[in-house]
Each structure stands twice: as structure tokens, then as C-alpha cells.
Structure 1
Amino acid sequence: MDRQVIEEQLNRVLGSPHFSETTRMKRFLSHVVNEALAGRSDALKGYALGVDVFDKPDDFDPTLDTIVRVQANKLRSRLDLYYGQEGRADPVRILIPKGSYAPVFELAFDPDAADATTPADPPDPRTSLAVMPFDNLSGDPGQEYLADGLTEEIIAALSRFREIRVLSRHVTYRYRGAGRDPREVGADLNVTYLVEGSIRHWDENLRVTAQLIKAATGEQILSDAYDRDLSALSLFEVQEDIAAHVAAEIAEPHGFIHRTGPRPRDAETQALDAYQCRLLATEYWREPSADHHRHVRDLLERATKIDPNYAGAWGMLAIIYGDEVRGGYNYRKDPPPFERALAAAERSVAIDPLNATGLHALFLTRFHLGDFTGFEAAADMAIRANPNYPDMLADLSICCAMRGDLTAARSHIERAVTLCPDPPGWYHASTCVIAFMDGNFEEALRSAQQIGQAYWNGAELFELMCLGQLGRGAEASAIAAAFRDRVPDIDKYLSTIFAIWQVPAGLAGQIREGLHRCGVRSESRDTVAIR
């Protein structure tokens, strides 16, 4: 990438409100970018940054003084906020990957190919929200930095959910420490919801409370408290953990805002259908069915015609297209479902490269098509875009399991369940498969029994394969009968499922063996071509 293009982007970022008021962050970002441009990325280590950027003495020890690591995480958060708001259409993205201090530069689109006559964006369809400055109840003014840091972390975590429009901290900072009527603040900021809260710090203990307020009425509709022991974790880890839980409870696909959703009189968009489709699609995954799938697919297709630049609708539509194969719902052959899914996912990511829904659809579709290099690249981008998106983590978990990485698979599903305490039943398909692959068939059976009918079709498969491996096939007669009723052609069903999910031959053999022991006979078939 041309050096001048990167330098112009750096100046654009430094001139934004997210950086204009903080000399230290400007100096940090400028230093790492300029070092990278000079070919000295390898020298960007904790010690060197402490001395060169933060004026630490020569005996500075980054393992004892965590200033570089803490400030690097804050820098990542500010960059995420910038690119989630005013920098959304910038041609270049400057990113600092976790685990490194060296920046990477990504081209969002080709500025020379941009059409200068592109019409203005349609009205923003998203639910609007403002995070008010958290109150410091510690009795020590010196603890204000804790409240400020947590406020910033929660804004960054919420901004990763692209269906929520989150105001910048600089917009709400003027309310810090002032008594405020939520109805007046909501009207002043023109938002639907406010997030308010407080921190209390004593000894090694930290208590954070957070509330979701409906701005129009001042009604407190969600409240929670988080207690953490600061002797066990670093302050930044605690802030990041609490912010992730607050954001997920409010904004994740099964969170409060999407469960309730705006009514027509509350909506802030003329393209109301587009946003309602997003909400309907969210609920579809709790209890998928052919009728619900058809309805949501039709609505999302209409939504993308109403608002062709709605990245979230394109991403959701890509997943719905994939369910024509995954669930066998309303299959349309021309063009094939996964080809349509891939085109829709790529369209979503082209519109908004940080939209986790589009990236989720992209890595999932590439996985199904056997493009594992493309899958890994898109999955990495999805995690970077939103590590707190439970549905995406649950799907990534099963993909990692099929690729043989049970450590990553287990980590992703555990985080998904932590962030979504009331997960849809299909999350348990991943925990079942992981335990089954580990040879822990009792644990796998417990997970299988929690799937229910939230799985697309043939959920009985999971119980049967576990019972068979446990030598308890005699208990499975009723389950086997239900499975045969739902799945008339078991051979075709298994071959298709194994092809879609890239099931390794050894695992496929174990599954068939478990079914046979339960009296469900199947024969191996050639791999089904999936498009």
C-alpha cells in the first residue's frame, strides 16, 4: 500500500474526536504507524514502547508495569469506535491486532473506483443508544479513571453490534457528574435507550452496576450488578469482561433490544421492513421451521431491495440462504443456495467490513464449500470485528471441531454460552459434538438432550449416536422411531449432513456405528455435492 495513502489515513484518524483530546493516544498511534512504515515493525515491543512513547526509564520492566499493554487495548478500542462511526467509509483501516503492537493496514475499498455520484445513504434503521458516563461511588475522586475506562469499554463493546447505533463518548461526556432526567437526555440526544451505571472500588474489590433505561419514559427495564476481585485479574481484563457481558445482554441477537424491538411508532427509519426483518430473523433461530424460514427469507429479500446498503440484512439473508441446504427448508436450485449465500455475504462485508453478521455468514459459507483458507481468514476477521457475538461463536465452534481443533471449539462455545445465559437449543449441538469427539459420551448425551427442536431437522440424531456408543440402544426405540418419521431417507440425510459440515471420516463412522446400535441402519454413500 502506498505510504502516502497510509499517512493520509493516519492524519484522518488523529483529527477525529476520538483522538483529538488525548495527546498520549495520538503519540502512541503515530509512533507505531511511522515505525511500521519505516520497516521497523519487529522493534515494536513492550520495553521499547514504554521508553519511546511513555517516557519510562531505562530500567522499565513491562512485565511489572502494564502501561503499554493497557494503553494498547485502549488504542484498539478507540480505533474500533472510529471505524464504527465517522471512519466507516474510510478507504484504509489501521488496526492493531491483539497480541502485537505492530499495526496492519487494510484497504476497505478502491478509492479510485468509487462512484462520485453515489446517492446519499438511506435513513439509519438501527436502534439508537447512548452510554452515559458511569458514576464513581468509591468516595475517592482519584478513582474517576475507573468509571471513565469502563464507560469507554462498554461503548466499544456495544459498537461492535452493528445493528445498534451507539453515540460517541464525546457526545455524552458533558453529562458527567450531573443529575439528569433520562427523558430530557433521551430527547436531547435523540436516542431510544440509555445505559447508566456506577462503580464502587474498595480494597481489591470492584462492584459495577449497569441499567438499561427507555429514554422516552425513563423506565428502568434491565439492571445487573457485577462483582470482581481485582487481586486475581488486571484492571483492564476486568473492564473488558464486564463490558462484554453488559453489551451482550443488551445487544446480542438474543439480547434485550432484539427480543423486544421497536414498534412502528418508535421506529427511526422509513425502511421499517428492513429492521423488522432483522428482528424476525433473530427469533427464527430459536425455533426454526420451514414456514418461518420462507417468511423471513421473503422479508429479507424485500429489505435488501428497499435498502440495498443494509449490511446486516445482506448478512442475515446469506445465512437464511444457507439454511435451504442446512435445514432443507424451501430449497431453490437456481442459483444454488450456497452460491447465493456467498454472494450475499460478500455484499454485506463489502458494504461494512466490520459487520460481524456478514463475516459470520462469510466464514460459515466458505466452510461449507470447503474453502478452508477463506474460512480461516473470514473467521479471524469476524472474531476481531466482534468477539462478543454468541451466535457467531457457536457456529465457529462446530466448524473448528470439524477441523480437529477441539481447544478452539471448546473455547468458542464456552464463551458463547457465558455471553448468552439462555442460549437457543442448537448451541448444545456443538457441546455435544465436542464431548463426543473427546469420547465423553455421557456428557455428549446430556448436551444432546438440551437441543430440543431448535436444531433444523433430525435433532434425534445426537441422542441416538450417544446412546449407541454408551451401549444403551435398548432405551432408544421411541427416539429412533421419531427420527425415522422425520427423516424418511436416512442414508441421504447423513451423507448430506456429513458433506455440509465437512465431517471427518472417523467421526462419521462413529456416528453411523452409534445409530446402528440403536437399530437405525444406514449405508455409507458417496459424498454429496453441496452448492
Structure 2
Amino acid sequence: MTEGRVQRRLTTILAADVVGYSRLMELDEAGTMAQLRARRHDVVMPAVARQGGRIFKVMGDGVLIEFTSVVNAVECAIELQKAMQAQNTGLPVHQHILLRIGINLGDVIVEGSDLYGDGVNLAARLESLAEPGGICVSGDVYRQVRSKLQMQFQDMGEQKVKNIVGPVHAYRVQAEDAAPASAESPEIHRSASTLPNKPSIAVLPFTNMSNDPDQDYFADGMVEDIITALSRFNQLFVIARNSSFTYKGRAVDVRQVARELGVRFVLEGSVRRAGSRVRITGQLIDAATGAHLWADRFDGDLEDVFELQDKITGSVVGAIEPTLRKAEIERARRRPVENLDAYDLYLRALPHVYAFRPDENLMGLKLLQKAIDLEPTYALALAFAAWCHEQRLVRGWPPVGQDDAGTAIALARRAISAGSDDAMALAAAGFVLVMVARDYDAGLDAVRRASELNPGSGFVEFLSSTALLFGGDPEGALIRAERAMVLSPMDPGAFMFLAIAGIAHLYAGRPEQALELGKRSAALNPNWDSAYWLLIPAYVQLDRMEDARAALAKLVALSPGLTVSGARQRLPIRNPASLEMVLEGFRKAGLPE
């Protein structure tokens, strides 16, 4: 080899890091160091040796390992997580040691026994995306092992990571026998009630069979209504709309979809609308066997659309859970909208409302207002219109009227009055009353009723969690935020779930956990200002002032002219201590009064 020439090789890098290392060291420096040395000797080194790996770098809170086999690297990661969990058994929760692991297959620079370069850096970045007790791998690793190992992978999509040019496609490993962090772990605080222990189903976006591509909204609306109807049954676990819709427009393998979403059943179908006639087809597939449990076609006029939806829902429920009594299905039917033109306008508005952009929001608001004009007691249109106003007020978008706050509050109260049995309307309206009116009693009563009516809705759980958070119940908010994540594991809005869960930890006095979730939220969406409302006070509480000032600079760039007094007006935090803690964090980081 020519002298001075850089030596490279293609290899697999595993990066592992201890979660909450600073917290552990602060609690018991000597004891933590002794535990880490013991774990490295008793767990890490034997597992690496068994899988043919080589440890080439050890840091205080982490380790870098090289493997010639991608399969061996992933198997080692699974073994490490299982062994670390076993070692935590019997220890107090605050002494649990958890790992995050990232794995990448890439080109590296060889210098003696050490390795450098993007191949190593990307493994470290993937590790930071992993859950406590979890494993995250690159797309190259996924393609190498997906057909060789008996495990499931959750597609995390394109991720933008620090110091890596271009987005990185990442996957979360979901090995059946490698459970993530203990349910008792302070890093997770996961309630057992959030985990699916019942028949589980995902409803994929239906194909628009109409000649007019502009009818996509109608097919999407059908699916959203079917998901809402199915999620009313406590006996079913239903994946939320936002996760199901990540497959829109894609040719998919049903079994792969089921593995990625963690469900057994998949419902797919099509909608054809021609004039006043509608045809809806559906087929229910058992992904474990590939068997078609049920398939049917439903024809009718637009006036029959709600009856057609109910027939599909009843057929699916009966096929999955035949013990459900007919009376339960009847009880789950919702009151149809009297004016179908109003319903059509509501369906057209939904994609604009979910876009979270000022121009789209305005388009959605105009459509919803037309629906309300046609049917003044249409609870969902009223609630979503109120939510549109809330988005504009909280995000600081240009006003649409002289009193947007008053309009939002009035619409929310009308929605609650008209939709006392509609969980989605109650959740959105109650959320608005908390965030805009600061009427915590009425708002929290509405979101709690929404959760009771439909505990299987990811949408309901997310808005309820946010309302509870600002309404003074961070622990209740955390349970619902985590349940929303379980119900919608591939939600494009996962950054919002993480931020809400992180703020709940912050208000409950757990800044270390809050910081971890806030960093993950900001990594998924650097322009989501709520992540920095969390990061700044968390950094201040942990005495990381340089990081706090950097986070404040990002927040001010997103919200020019922000002041402490302005933050006080914008934040509807019911608990005075939580509010002052956040504002004091802003002051110490350098935000002017």
C-alpha cells in the first residue's frame, strides 16, 4: 500500500450509550462507575465476543463496536438489551441502567485499531434516535437483515441528523423477545394500559376509483370515519389515522404493513363516487395467515353514506370479534349529519386543518364555516373551526377577524353543546377552551368525557393529553401522550407527542427525562417551537446554560420579538409554579422582559 494513503473498509458499527448518564452520576458517582464496569465485564464483553465483534472505543457512558457481519451486529444488540434488562431486575428504579443502540453499515477510515468517518458518526446519530432500551438501524442495515432475522421493524422515515449531509432513512427494531425499557423505568413511565392486549387493526387509505382525482378527499374521509367508528369499541385496538395514512399512494404488502404497525388485521378497500351514487368495497385480511376474513361491496346514494359506513364497521367488528353483541354495534353508531353538503365540506377541510400551515389553515377554516352555515349544529365542523382559530392564535399567524379568540371560544362552546356524544368534537372543543379561554374546568371536563367515549382514538388522546398538561395534570397528560404514540406509531406528528410527553416530565419535576424527549422532538422537526419551550427551562434546571442560550436563539428565530411578558400571555399554564419555572428559565437563558 502506498505510504500515506488513507485505509478504508466497509464494516458494521454498533454505538451504545447509557441513558441518563449525568443523572446517574449525580445520584451516586462511585456506585454508577462500579455498575458500569460490572456491566461492561459481565454483559457487553461476553455478548460482543459471542457475536464476533470488536470493541474499538470505550467512553464513560458509551461504547463503539465493529462487526464484520450485519446480522451478528443486530443479534448482539438484541442480546445486550435483554441482558441489561435482566440485570436491572431487583434494583431500585433510580439505579436502572438502560442503553440506546444505533447500528450502521458504512465506509470507515482505519487508523491503527481505531475507526473514524461518517460510517461511525451515523451509528452514533442513530443511537440518539433510539428509545431508552431500544435499537435504531440505518436503511442499509434494515435491507441486509429484514429477511434473515425474526423481528419486526418500524419505519421511522427520513431523519435529519446532526453533521450528516442529507436525510437518513431509519428503522426501529421491534424484536418480539427484546422488550424495551422496563415499564417501571423513570425514562419511560409507560402505563401498562397503553399496550395493545386486544385484537388490533389498521385501516389503510382506500383507493379512489372515481374518474375525478379531486374526489380523493371523499375516499380519505370515508376511511377517517371508519377508523373513528372502529375505535369506539373497547374490545379493539385501532391504529390512528395519521399512521395509517403514511401508506397513502404506496404499493404495499399487507403483511409488511402489519409488521410495521404492530397489528394483526388490515382493512383495505376502495371508494367510487359518481354523481349521487357511492360504491364502497372492503376486505379484511388476517396478516398473520394472509387469509381474507371478510370482503363485501356496498352500493347506495349519498343519503345512505352513513348507513354504508356503519355496515362496513359492523361487518369488520363481527369478523374480528364475533363475541361483540349486536347491541354494542348499534350503540356505537353515530348520529348522521342531516345536511350532506355540510358533511362534504367538512371532509374537504380535513387535509387543510391537519397541514398546520397558515395558508392551509385558512382554506380549511373557510370550508368549515360554509359547513356551519349549512348546518349550525354540526359539532365536528364547529369544533374543528375552533381548533383552526386556536392554531392561528397559538402559532402567532395573521388574524382572520377582529376577535379570533372570542370566535374560537364561542365555536368551542357550541360544539360541546351540540356534540355531547361525539368524542372528536369534545376533544377538540375542550382543548380550545383550555388553550384559548383558559376555562380549565369546562375544557378538562370535555376532554375527559371524550376519552371515556372513545379511548381508542389517537386524535382524542393527543388533544386530551395537551389539554390535561396545560390544565395542571402532567401525569394524566403523560399517560395519554404515550397512549397516543402507541395508537399512532408512525404518526408524522410524532414530534408533537414527544414534546407534550417531555413537557409533562418537566412539570412533574423530571428535567432529565424532559430533556431527552425535547431533543428527540427537535431532531424530528427543528422548526417546532414547542420543543424549545421545553428545552430552555430543562437545560436551565440542569445548569447547562450554554445549551439553554443556544435553544433560546432557535426559539427567538422562530418567534421574533418574543419576551418574557409575551410568553406569559401565550402560555395557558394553570399551575403557577410550572408557569414561573418556565418563565424563569427563559430569563436565565437571556430572554428580555
Name the TM-score class by shorter chain: 0.3 to 0.5
- Calculate the TM-score normalised by the size of structure 2: 0.43
More strand by share: 2
TM-score normalised per structure 1? 0.47
